[in-house]
């Protein structure tokens, strides 16, 4: 597939006009899958909560009040959409599971409660399972979308960051560059960390765009990721590694810049250095952040494979239903763009976003 064909496949909407979701919360369902099973013992209680029309923070505050604990003692793995029906795990310290099952919450319900030795921390999830309804005013041509489904399952989807990562005005990365150039300690460290994270994301997206023709392959000097174990290694033998990439055993990675980031070699080192120059980033060995900020860096796979990806037409109306599972850090917005083009968020009258981006810097 050429670059132009890939871009057209990703950006072209179906011949149905703009699709929309979240006409009602029932159109958007998310189930969080935990990173590990509870042990049944310990001083923390994990509660599985279904919420409707509420933010994760609102539910966390209400759980804290109901349990008589400080809000800082309530843990959760990540934020979930407000305009949706979502199920996710929270942890409470020192609360009996039987008592937690009886909590009366606003537009939310505790479905399960189990003991565990420690608190849930940010990122402690295996992934999210989605069931999304997309509606249209005209008939939806499903066959072109099914062809894209087949391609994304085979090749994986480009693992770019969604536009919501870059702020309402899209200028978070620009503000981060000014912050780094200024060098003075930020007044609001949390806000500054998010800005730097946005710049890391924009640099990654630029590196992915340079590779969009072959995001599912490997180049000489790549830092590749073993899909089964998550381990990283340098690609020094294309004859050996290209078949492994085609079989989805390994995937190339892109830069999340930072002082400890594993750098590529050969062709990929030159490609990433050119991108860093474009963003006016120094050599990572000399990268200095303002006091109070830290960016260790990481490698992010250029692609992810959506599991259980399937679509079906809606009964009695125009549109389609989509089901899939995505790992942490993958954006549902990107998957929808690859399948059907732009999607309208009916709850906001804006371009679709899938929740609030995580803060923090890699």
User: Crossing angle for the helix pair 189-210 and 172-182, nearest 10 degrees?
Assistant: 110
Q: Do 6 and 147 share a domain, yes or no?
A: yes
Residue 13 sits in the same domain as residue 142: yes
Active site residue 267: no
For 89-107, what is each residue's pLDDT tens digit? Answer: 999 999 999 999 999 999 9
Q: What is the CATH number of the domain that holds 104?
A: 3.30.2350.20
Q: Does the structure show a pLDDT above 70 at 232?
A: yes
The token pair at 332 is 């549902």
Average confidence (pLDDT) over 236-255: 97
Give the containing element (helix H, strand E) for 5: helix 3-11
| Residues 8 and 142 occupy one common structural domain | yes
Length of the chain: 362
Give the structural domain span for 78. 36-122
Check residue 179 and give its pLDDT.
Answer: 79
Q: How confident is the model at residue 170 (pLDDT cuts 50, 70, 90)?
A: low
The answer to whether residue 288 scores a pLDDT higher than 90 is no
Q: Are residues 252 and 193 part of one domain?
A: yes
Question: In which region does residue 17 sit, left (phi positive, over 0), alpha (psi from -120 to 50) or beta (all else)?
Answer: left
Do 225 and 334 share a structural domain?
Answer: no
Q: Of 81, 216, 222, 345, which is the active-site residue? A: 81
User: Residue 16 — very low, low, confident or very high, per pLDDT cuts 50/70/90?
Assistant: very low
Phi, psi (rounded to 5 degrees) for 284: -60, -25
Helix (H, G, I), strand (E, B) or coil at 312: strand
Q: Tell me: the pLDDT tens digits for 335-348?
A: 999 999 989 888 87
Residues above pLDDT 90, as percent of the chain? 66
**Number of folded domains that form the chain:** 3
Cα distance between residue 361 and residue 127, in whole Å: 20
Let me know whether 1 and 147 are in one domain: yes
288 and 199, same domain (yes or no): yes
Verify that 216 and 107 share a domain, yes or no.
no
Q: Is the pTM of this model over 0.85?
A: no
Residues 151 and 225 in one domain: no
Q: Which residues of 129-151 are buried (b: 16+ CB within 10 A; e: fewer)?
A: bbebbbbbeeebeeeebeebbeb
Identify whether the C-beta of residue 120 lies closer than 8 Å to the C-beta of residue 312: no
| b/e code 254-290 from CB counts within 10 Å (16+ = b) | bbbbbeebebbeeebeebbeebbeeeebeebeebebe
């Amino acid at each position: 597939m050429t670059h132009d064909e890939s871009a057209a496949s990703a950006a072209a909407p179906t011949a149905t006009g703009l699709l929309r979701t979240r006409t009602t919360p029932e159109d958007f369902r998310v189930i969080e899958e935990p990173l590990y099973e509870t042990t049944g013992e310990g001083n923390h209680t994990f509660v599985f909560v279904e919420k409707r029309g509420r933010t994760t923070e609102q539910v966390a505050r209400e759980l804290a009040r109901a349990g008589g604990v400080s809000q800082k003692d309530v843990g959760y793995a990540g934020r979930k959409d407000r305009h949706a029906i979502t199920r996710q795990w929270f942890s409470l310290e020192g609360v009996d599971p039987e008592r937690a099952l009886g909590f009366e919450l606003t537009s939310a319900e505790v479905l399960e409660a189990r003991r565990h030795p420690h608190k849930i921390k940010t990122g402690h999830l295996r992934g999210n399972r989605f069931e999304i309804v997309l509606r249209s005013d005209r008939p939806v041509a499903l066959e072109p979308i099914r062809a894209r489904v087949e391609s994304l399952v085979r090749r994986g989807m480009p693992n770019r960051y969604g536009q919501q990562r870059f702020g309402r005005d899209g200028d978070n990365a620009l503000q981060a560059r000014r912050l780094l150039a200024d060098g003075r300690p930020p007044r609001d460290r949390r806000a500054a960390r998010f800005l730097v994270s946005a710049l890391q994301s924009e640099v990654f997206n630029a590196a992915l765009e340079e590779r969009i023709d072959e995001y599912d392959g490997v180049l000489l000097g790549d830092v590749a990721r073993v899909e089964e174990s998550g381990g990283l290694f340098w690609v020094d033998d294309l004859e050996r590694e290209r078949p492994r990439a085609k079989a989805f055993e390994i995937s190339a990675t892109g830069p999340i810049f930072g002082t400890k980031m594993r750098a590529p070699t050969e062709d990929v080192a030159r490609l990433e250095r050119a991108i860093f120059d474009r963003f006016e980033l120094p050599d990572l060995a000399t990268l200095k952040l303002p006091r109070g900020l830290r960016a260790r860096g990481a490698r992010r796979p250029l692609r992810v494979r959506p599991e259980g990806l399937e679509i079906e037409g809606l009964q009695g109306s125009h549109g389609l239903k989509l089901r899939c599972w995505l790992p942490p850090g993958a954006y549902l917005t990107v998957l929808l763009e690859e399948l059907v083009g732009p999607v309208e968020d009916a709850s906001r009258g804006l371009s679709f976003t899938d929740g609030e981006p995580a803060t923090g810097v890699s």
